């Protein structure tokens, strides 16, 4: 094997396969303190620890929601938080059959000499941090690399640096028992068409998988979190079937069958759009040796957030809203979503923020 078989190999493969269980997906609830602050302020809620805790408790204790989730990505603070009655969130998730995950990157910094391209930090002391997180109950990790499409972007430098960063992060995670989610996000910002997005996505994914091979990463114990292939945000929209076709083809051309599951990011799509696109992909009759599921942040929480508005009396309604989106996305992973989810206020609202920074 050109891959390094760590002592956690069997566990990694098992957990990665579990996360890819058809009918389930990931809730990305790993917003950093700064980012969750923006969400809270959009509903006029103060960004203090108690409110951050209350929001996550609302999500993780939503009745019936956990059955549609195989994993939840957490921010470090949340990994150690508890419910109001004192039960660790990690225990709540585990009892619900949901694997806790942890965001391990430390955000992006600009690459010198480029036109605003970035690489992702977080490698220093990563192994020690991963070991701690494993002890705290985490079983998978996430690291977001970011690329953009423009006249001369992404440059070869940006593609290589980000692919290499993802591969180093992935190798370290595996040595520490965490399944690495590999996330090479190509931002939707721009006026390019879907063909351009497809070409860039294929090029980026090819570079990622070459890097993963170079770094001896065991693909059976990883997950991929890519962007869907869509027109740029300033371009006319296309139908879900078109997005499905271009996306799945890009993946067929680059993602080896050893990867058990692909969990898409929603990247600014509205809740409903993201679900419809995922559904269209799962309906497509073509070779798909990996399961296709979701790892949604905004596209799972938007309606819930608005419904809650920070008020205790709205918790139940907010939890109902979350359940609606979880169920819809669960059906989408099976290609059975009929588009009939009760649309709460905001479900069809675009969540695109230009040049989005976490």
What residues make contact with other proteins under the rule CB under 8 A? Answer: 1-3, 195, 198-200, 202-203, 206-207, 209-210, 213-214, 219, 249, 251-258, 287-289
In the complex, least distance from residue 246 CB atom to other proteins, rounded to whole angstroms: 9
In the complex, least distance from residue 351 CB atom to other proteins, rounded to whole angstroms: 28
Q: Closest CB to other proteins among 209 and 294?
A: 209
H or E stretch covering 49: helix 49-60
Closest CA to 161 of 217, 202, 187, 123: 123
Q: Closest CB to other proteins among 156 and 313?
A: 156
CA 330 to chain centre: 15
Q: Closest CB to other proteins among 249 and 317?
A: 249
Q: Closest CB to other proteins among 262 and 322?
A: 262
In the complex, least distance from residue 2 CB atom to other proteins, rounded to whole angstroms: 4
Two tokens at 103?
């965001």
Using only C-alpha atoms, what is the Rg of the chain?
A: 19
* Cis-peptide into 278, omega within 30 deg: no
CA 266 to chain centre: 8
The active-site residue out of 57, 117, 153, 183 is 183
In the complex, least distance from residue 65 CB atom to other proteins, rounded to whole angstroms: 30
Closest CA to 42 of 307, 299, 272, 342: 307
The active-site residue out of 57, 225, 272, 306 is 225
Neighbouring C-beta atoms of residue 193, cutoff 10 Å: 14
Q: Exposed (0-12), middle (13-18) or buried (19+): which is 338, by Cβ within 10 Å?
A: exposed
Q: Please confirm, yes or no, whether 331 is among the known catalytic residues.
A: no
Contact 233, 188 (CB under 8 A): yes
Compute the CA torsion angle 62, 66, 67, 72 (nearest 10 deg): 160
Contact 204, 154 (CB under 8 A): yes
Q: Closest CB to other proteins among 157 and 206?
A: 206
Q: Exposed (0-12), middle (13-18) or buried (19+): which is 142, by Cβ within 10 Å?
A: buried
Q: Closest CB to other proteins among 17 and 127?
A: 17
In the complex, least distance from residue 127 CB atom to other proteins, rounded to whole angstroms: 24
Q: Please confirm, yes or no, whether 183 is among the known catalytic residues.
A: yes
In the complex, least distance from residue 78 CB atom to other proteins, rounded to whole angstroms: 34
Work out the angle at residue 179's Cα, subtended by the Cα atoms of residues 262 and 353, and round it to the nearest 5 degrees: 55
Active site residues: 183, 225
């Amino acid at each position: 094997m050109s891959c390094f078989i760590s002592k956690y190999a069997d566990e990694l493969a098992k957990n990665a396969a579990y996360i890819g269980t058809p009918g389930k997906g990931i809730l990305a609830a790993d917003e950093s303190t700064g980012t969750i602050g923006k969400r809270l302020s959009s509903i006029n809620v103060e960004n203090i620890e108690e409110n951050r805790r209350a929001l996550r408790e609302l999500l993780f204790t939503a009745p019936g929601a956990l059955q549609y989730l195989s994993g939840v990505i957490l921010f470090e603070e949340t990994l150690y938080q508890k419910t109001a009655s004192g039960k660790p969130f990690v225990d709540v998730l585990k009892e619900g059959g949901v694997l806790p995950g942890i965001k391990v990157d430390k955000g992006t910094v600009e690459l010198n000499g480029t036109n605003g391209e970035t690489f992702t930090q977080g490698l220093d002391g990563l192994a020690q941090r991963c070991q701690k997180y494993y002890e705290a109950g985490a079983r998978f990790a996430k690291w977001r690399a970011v690329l953009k499409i423009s006249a001369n972007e992404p440059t070869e430098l940006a593609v290589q640096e980000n692919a290499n960063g993802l591969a180093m992060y992935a190798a370290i995670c595996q040595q520490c028992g965490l399944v690495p989610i590999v996330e090479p996000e190509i931002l939707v910002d721009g006026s390019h068409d879907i063909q351009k997005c497809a070409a860039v996505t294929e090029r980026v994914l090819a570079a990622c998988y070459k890097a993963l091979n170079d770094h001896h990463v065991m693909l059976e114990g990883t997950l991929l979190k890519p962007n869907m292939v869509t027109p740029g945000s300033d371009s006319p929209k296309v139908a879900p079937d078109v997005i499905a076709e271009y996306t799945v083809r890009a993946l067929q051309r680059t993602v080896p069958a050893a990867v058990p599951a692909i969990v898409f990011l929603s990247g600014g799509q509205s809740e409903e759009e993201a679900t419809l696109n995922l559904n269209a992909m799962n309906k497509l009759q073509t070779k798909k040796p990996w399961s296709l599921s979701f790892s949604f942040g905004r596209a799972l929480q938007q309606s819930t957030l608005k419904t809650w508005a920070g008020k205790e009396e709205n918790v139940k309604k907010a939890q109902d809203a979350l359940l609606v989106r979880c169920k819809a996305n669960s059906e989408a992973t099976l290609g059975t979503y009929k588009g009939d989810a009760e649309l709460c206020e905001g479900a069809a609202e675009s969540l695109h923020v230009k040049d989005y920074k976490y």
